[in-house]
Amino acid sequence: MIRIAINKGRLIDPANKIDSKLNLLIEDGKISAISDQELQAEITIDASGLIIAPGFIDIHMHEANIDEKTGEFEVGTFESMLKMGVTTAIAGNCGFGAENPVGYLDKVDQDLIPINLGMLLPHNSLRLAIQHTDKYALASKEQVAEMAKIADEWMSKGLAGVSFGLRYVPGADTNEYFAVAEMAKKHNRVISAHIRDDAEGVIDALDEFISFGLDGKSKMQVSHIGSMAAFGQMDDFLSAVDQYKAQGVDIACDCYPYYAFCVAIGRTTYDDGFLERYNTGYDAIEVLEGEYKNQRCTPELFEHLRQKHPDVLTTAHVMKSQEVDQALLHPNVMIASDGVLNNMQGHPRVSGTFPRALNLLVNQRKSMSVYEVIRKMTQMPAERLGIDKGNLAIGKDADLVLFGLEDIHDTASFIEPTDEPKGIKHVIVNGQIATTDNKIVNAKLGKSLRIH
């Protein structure tokens, strides 16, 4: 493997409390040297004016679909992640994802993808495994026991944790959730959730989720809190999280820097009562794909799509921007995209989250240091997951991103959700250059991430 020397850049590595002008050498996929002296190698990168950071870690995204005809990954999601500086991501979130997450990771290693990928065990995949497909129906005691058995087996094969979509499976009771969560506890893995309710019901929903892990030993991860509490409840929500933390609960959260959430129109988010819950009208809902792409809903269009095309992605422009920003600033909240694409269509967060956060928080608002924002994208998710990433110490995996702070910004929009960001000079995955000037030069450098 060709050695790479990166000279004259500003090295920021929060995991090791480093922020200095230093040079770095990559050899055999690892960091092999860090020095204030200029380093030599077969490939030399002049990083003058650039920040050298660990590759960003997206703790909450949604994996690419597999094309039913070709059996190949629809890699647009992974390519979008790579172009915005993500070198490692965790999929299988919100309780939904690959029916066999272990098999999905096997296919990652077989086919190779642009980024390193770990998987949570989606709760709904367990329901599918036992052929319990009615999301409104209670599972029997025997079915719950079978789900727990499968969860234990899959967790032993390196999954990063378990994810719940409490809102999306109203028929599951606490016995079912506790049985599955116990398998994550057994293997010391993360328990992640899109909690059961938002807006006025968000605190009760938080309390329900935390009850799964009140033993103080469980890693509880509350997903995309902007889309759960940015409707007038963020102060109270963050205070509740802080109180749990003070009481010894191992709890953390993630958030994306956008003010509209994304969900398929047929999901339970849009069950009766959602207009009152968000204090909004149908015109706040924008269609993100298909015949009606970028049209705002009317009552008639909403009902038509919900009945005839329930998988169509929409975005709801209903979140309070100042409360999302408040969440991003909290010391126990990390940056994550919640990115997902259907046929290359979706929310711009899949392509813009990390550059947008840097530009918004550091350049525009000047509300955080670049060091702290990078910490939220690297050290925090790596420590949460217990993975050997997000760290540029000698001997660690050479996953890096090089960017110009003054130049970095997102360009993706709700019309063009895959437009690439600006300001990222190089992304390096497992010791090899993956992108240069936002152009992919090697899309086959990623590996599966297994936790044991």
β-strands 285-287, 313-316 pairing: antiparallel
Helix (H) or strand (E) holding 122: strand 116-122
Amino acid at 355: P
Instruction: For residue 214, give the DSSP letter.
Output: T
CA distance 321 to 284: 15
Give 6's strand partners.
24, 45
Q: What is the pLDDT of residue 68?
A: 85
First-last CA distance in the chain: 27
CB 46 within 8 A of CB 402: no
- Rounded CA-CA distance 396/280 in Å is 49
CB 254: neighbour CB atoms within 10 A? 27
User: Comparing C-alpha atoms, which of 297, 321, 326 is closest to residue 309?
Assistant: 297
Model pTM score:
0.97
What angle (nearest 5°) sits at the alpha carbon of residue 231, between those of residues 226 and 232?
Answer: 115
Strand 400-403 relative to strand 424-429: parallel, antiparallel, unpaired? Answer: antiparallel
Cα 163 → chain centroid: 12
Contact 203, 239 (CB under 8 A): no
Judged on CB neighbours under 10 Å (0-12, 13-18, 19+), 129 is middle
The CATH classification number of 55-259+319-388 equals 3.20.20.140
* 10-residue stretch averages of pLDDT, the chain, 452 residues long: 96 98 98 98 98 98 92 92 98 97 97 97 97 94 97 98 95 94 95 97 96 83 98 98 95 98 95 96 97 97 97 97 98 97 94 98 97 98 96 97 98 97 98 97 98 92
How far is Cα 234 from Cα 93, in angstroms, rounded to an integer? Answer: 22
pLDDT for 246: 95
pLDDT score recorded for residue 343: 86
- In the chain, CATH 3.20.20.140 sits at 55-259+319-388
In this structure, are strands 219-222 and 56-58 parallel, antiparallel, or unpaired? unpaired
Long-range contacts of 431-438 (CB under 8 A, 24+ apart): 431/1, 431/4, 431/26, 431/27, 431/28, 431/29, 431/30, 431/397, 431/398, 432/1, 432/2, 432/4, 432/29, 433/4, 433/43, 434/82, 434/87, 434/114, 435/82, 435/83, 438/83
Neighbour tally for 440: CB within 10 Å: 17
Q: Which amino acid is at 86?
A: V
The whole-angstrom distance between residue 215's C-alpha and the CA centroid of its chain comes to 26
**Residue 248 gets which letter from DSSP?**
T
d(CA 234, CA 293): 31
Q: How far is CA 337 from CA 57, 224, 242, 256, in A?
A: 10, 8, 23, 5
Q: Which tokens hold the place of 141? A: 């005691």
